[in-house]
Structure 1
Amino acid sequence: MTTAHRGPYGAEEAPYARPSDAGTLRRARSAPYAFLLPAIVLFALFLALPIGYAVWLSFHKVKVSGLGLGAGARSEIWAGPANYTSALSDGELADGALRVLGYGCIVVPVMLGLALVFALMLDSERVRLAPFARLAIFLPYAIPGVVAALLWGFLYLPDVSPFHFVLDRLGLPQPDLLDGGPLYLALSNIAVWGGTGFNMIVIYTSLQAIPAEVYEAAKLDGATPLQIALRIKIPMVAPSLVLTFFFSIIATLQVFSEPTTLKPLTNSVSTTWSPLMKVYRDAFATGDIYAAAAEAVIIAVVTLVLSFGFLRAANRRTKRNASQGATG
């Protein structure tokens, strides 16, 4: 159906088609879902489906009949929570979790502390060659973790390390960083070297977003550069610090590539040094994919609980500080 449309001076213009209100509304409502469909499909295929399959495997086990030979000798049966009970009582998994906890106590504060210091230095007005410095600090993050672990692993080996050669020439002691307690420092150094640049960029971007008027007002009040950094810059980039701390916790709980890569270079790294290494061993070395699935689910749940608890505590503190600032 067409209707004549009159212009501003009463003259009739060309007729136009009146669209169906119901059809237009239906298309408008379905448009967002059409845009979201590719992301939903990818999420379902590569995230939701593997997670669901891992959970399904964790509640099953293999039943072996007779000698386990021939067709039908091995069958998959329902195991209930038996795999989870076995995983939670496994001493190797608990020991790996303790090792990762000690590793994280070194990595997270050192890495975020250096990232904050570098970001504050690059945000200073007196810094020179800032673009080159940003690139130099960020560049290690662009190197794959396995390559970085191999690089540092050979630098740690006494026979090929230039550091040991220099220490030997100077008559100084040559510590073996791949043996015993120093192993934590060796692994932590790889993580700090590779992750500081990314966290620095996140914090530095937040610093660049602070209005210049805030700094000018602080200078007019007589604040020194150190006072501006401690009382203005750091509090205003607190959300970025929370974000980087959140990502660092997740990366620490999922440490795998560094100890796995260094394992052939030393006997101090076992096949179960970290929880994920134990999952890999059970799944691909011993072939118990059902126990490995239960362990992976436990690690995922612990990571989710710790991350959610930290974010909730950080949000609660942020809201409390905001309310105190508003009332003050």
Structure 2
Amino acid sequence: MSSSIRRRSYGVKAAPYGFLAPAVVLFSLFFALPIGYAVWLSFRRIEVKGLGLGKGARDEVWAGLSHYTAALTDAELGHGALRVLGYGLIVVPVMLGLALLFALLLDAERVRGRSFSRLAIFLPYAIPGVIAALLWGFLYLPDVSPFHYVLDTAGLPGPELLHGGGLYAAMANIAVWGGTGFNMIVIYTSLRSIPAEVYEAAKLDGATPLQIALRIKIPMVAPSLVLTFFFSVIATLQVFSEPTTLKPLTNAMSTTWSPLMKVYNDAFVGGNVYAASATAVVLALATFALSFALLRVANSGTRKGGAR
């Protein structure tokens, strides 16, 4: 009897590990293992002997930190990072500002069609980024865009959205159109969790809807704003599908417009997966460091605001 109870207790203790095992296996195979392999490749290189023909003429040897040195001193990678920085300075404030505005409007008392509006704002997020970039890309082309046709008919000049500074606005529009709905849902869900008694007390004190929004709602959803800001920064640093999809439509965009495009170009066009792996590791570490720093600053500001 005691051995049966002991086996049953062991089974109860081992049950959580059994439930976790599939997730751990999948995480190891499809996340940890590829990252470890990329780090390993970043320290390797191909050494060619003679003409590089025949068996043993090309060997994979230790490269040390040479790929990392090349990545950190690569001017093209630096220019791509600056372009992404300019792109992010447009996308993140506009997207989060619209998401907060829509969430506050949907949370207002006298709103009609709340369910339809919420679905309509969120729906673009369900469209894959490549499809969204293709749709907007053809709307930007003067020869096929209905907007340019209407402007030409009215005798007005059409904007150049695939050249120069307009290219940043064109790409930012795609990101804002697709990402605002997700951020709005996160903020709106946080707004709906605020107790109604808080609003009632504010109304009794004579607060207007605008004052309630500015002094109660926005401070109380600050953690959600920090979360959406964190996600938006990461997504901006990893921009790839939009510029890659728009690249065939314009000559103003290079194959290394963003850092991830350079990684792709080095690995699959140049055939140098070793240098591309080192660049990818550098970008991952930079993204982690920047995101961690921003999160610490945002959380510090949130705690100070809550203390007041």
Q: If the length of structure 2 is used for normalisation, what is the TM-score?
A: 0.97
Query: Does 2:213 match 1:213?
Result: no
Query: Does 2:43 match 1:69?
Result: no
Partner-residue secondary structure (3-state), 2:103: helix
Match of 1:111 in 2: 95
CA drift of 1:318 comes to 3.0
Q: Which amino acid aligns with 2:27?
A: F
Match of 2:84 in 1: 100
Match of 1:244 in 2: 228
Question: Whole-Å Cα distance in 1 between the matches of residues 137 and 213 of structure 2?
Answer: 37
CA drift of 1:307 comes to 1.2
Question: Whole-Å Cα distance in 2 between the matches of residues 129 and 86 of structure 1?
Answer: 56
Q: State how 1:19-58 maps to structure 2 within 5 Å.
A: 22-58=6-42
Match of 1:160 in 2: 144
Q: Which amino acid aligns with 1:90?
A: D
- Aligned partner of 2:211 among 224, 227, 245: 227
Q: Which amino acid aligns with 1:110?
A: V
Match of 2:272 in 1: 288
Question: Whole-Å Cα distance in 2 between the matches of residues 200 and 240 of structure 1?
Answer: 10
CA drift of 1:308 comes to 1.2
Q: Which amino acid aligns with 1:258?
A: E
Match of 2:244 in 1: 260
CA drift of 1:306 comes to 1.0
User: Structure 2: which 5+ residue stretches go unaligned?
Assistant: none
Contact persistence 2:121–2:181 (CA under 8 A): yes
Question: Whole-Å Cα distance in 1 between the matches of residues 24 and 233 of structure 2?
Answer: 27
Match of 1:270 in 2: 254
Structure (1 or 2) with the larger CA radius of gyration: 1
Higher helix share: 2
Contact persistence 2:226–2:299 (CA under 8 A): no
Deviations 1:263-305 (CA, angstroms, capped at 9, x unpaired): 0000011100000000000000010000000000011001111
Sequence identity (%): 73
Contact persistence 2:266–2:273 (CA under 8 A): yes
Query: Does 2:71 match 1:87?
Result: yes
Q: Which amino acid aligns with 1:250?
A: I
Q: Which amino acid aligns with 2:301?
A: R
Query: Does 2:111 match 1:127?
Result: yes
Partner-residue secondary structure (3-state), 2:55: coil
CA drift of 1:29 comes to 2.6
Match of 1:142 in 2: 126
Q: If the length of structure 1 is used for normalisation, what is the TM-score?
A: 0.91
Question: Whole-Å Cα distance in 2 between the matches of residues 290 and 19 of structure 1?
Answer: 56
**Count of aligned pairs between the two proteins:** 308
Partner-residue secondary structure (3-state), 2:45: strand
User: Structure 1: which 5+ residue stretches go unaligned?
Assistant: 1-16
Q: Which amino acid aligns with 1:313?
A: V
Partner-residue secondary structure (3-state), 2:253: coil
Q: Which has the higher contact order (CA 8 A, sep 6+)?
A: 2
CA drift of 1:28 comes to 3.0
Question: Whole-Å Cα distance in 1 between the matches of residues 192 and 37 of structure 2?
Answer: 44
Question: Whole-Å Cα distance in 2 between the matches of residues 321 and 225 of structure 1?
Answer: 21
Name the Cα RMSD after superposition. 1.2
Contact persistence 2:122–2:181 (CA under 8 A): yes
Q: Which amino acid aligns with 2:277?
A: A
CA drift of 1:201 comes to 0.5
CA drift of 1:19 comes to 5.7
